């Protein structure tokens, strides 16, 4: 005999598990971001102290200009390193959230399909039209999600290639200078 209460309980358990996994991923990525920012702040402070000490011991204008160039170069290197690491963290987070969304959507559509099949077995005669309409709606939304997912992956891939090309160009330009 069909018992919708049991299926609803299973849906709720799956939703709680998904929420816990999403929170877990979010906290892990937030920890990495906070760690990156703390390390960047420590590095900036250390470079500032080093620069101030070096500036205090400058004896002539040429030495001051050389120090200025050195400090600028360190700043550019630090900014590029920070940007690169931040980009890597965001790419990693994006791929994990995308994988989570794909898995959650797949699980959801399978559960809804199973729910509809069980409900249709226990449905009264004449309700076929409504159940078929619901099935086609689920199939259409699944197809739309798949197309959206493919388009998103293409955009992310294009953006990633553009960022990598820009980073390589900047690095080569900096080395040439």
pLDDT in tens, 88-146: 999 899 889 988 988 888 888 888 778 777 777 777 777 777 778 877 887 888 788 78
**What would the mean pLDDT of 64-93 be, rounded to a whole number?**
92
pLDDT at 60 over 70: yes
Cα 39 to Cα 161: distance, rounded to the nearest angstrom: 27
Domain regions of the chain by residue span: 4-176
CB distance 78 to 44 below 8 Å: yes
Residue 2 φ/ψ, nearest 5 degrees: -80, 130
Q: 80 vs 36, 85, 88, CA distance in Å?
A: 13, 9, 12
Write down the pLDDT at residue 170: 63
For the stretch 8-58, pLDDT in tens is 888 888 889 999 999 999 999 999 999 999 999 999 999 999 999 999 999
Helix, strand, coil percentages for the chain (3-state, nearest 5): 95, 0, 5
> What does the alpha-carbon distance between residue 79 and residue 82 come to, in Å, rounded to a whole number?
5
Q: Is this structure's pTM higher than 0.75? A: no
With bands split at pLDDT 50, 70 and 90, how would you rate the model's confidence at 1?
Answer: low
Element (H, E) at 115: helix 61-122
Q: What pLDDT was estimated at residue 92?
A: 92
């Amino acid at each position: 005999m069909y018992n919708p209460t049991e299926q609803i309980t299973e849906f709720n358990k799956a939703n709680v598990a998904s929420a816990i996994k999403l929170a877990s991923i979010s906290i892990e990525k937030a920890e990495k971001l906070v760690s990156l920012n703390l390390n960047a702040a420590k590095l900036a402070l250390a470079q500032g102290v080093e620069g101030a000490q070096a500036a205090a011991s400058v004896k002539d204008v040429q030495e001051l200009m050389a120090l200025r160039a050195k400090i600028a170069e360190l700043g550019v290197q630090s900014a590029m390193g920070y940007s690169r690491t931040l980009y890597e963290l965001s790419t990693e987070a994006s791929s994990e959230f995308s994988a989570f969304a794909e898995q959650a959507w797949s699980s959801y559509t399978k559960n809804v399909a199973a729910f509809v099949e069980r409900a249709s077995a226990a449905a009264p005669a004449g309700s076929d039209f409504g159940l078929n309409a619901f099935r086609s709606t689920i199939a259409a939304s699944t197809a739309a999600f798949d197309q959206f997912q493919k388009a998103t992956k293409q955009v992310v891939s294009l953006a990633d290639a553009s960022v990598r090309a820009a980073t390589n160009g900047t690095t080569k330009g900096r080395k040439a200078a």
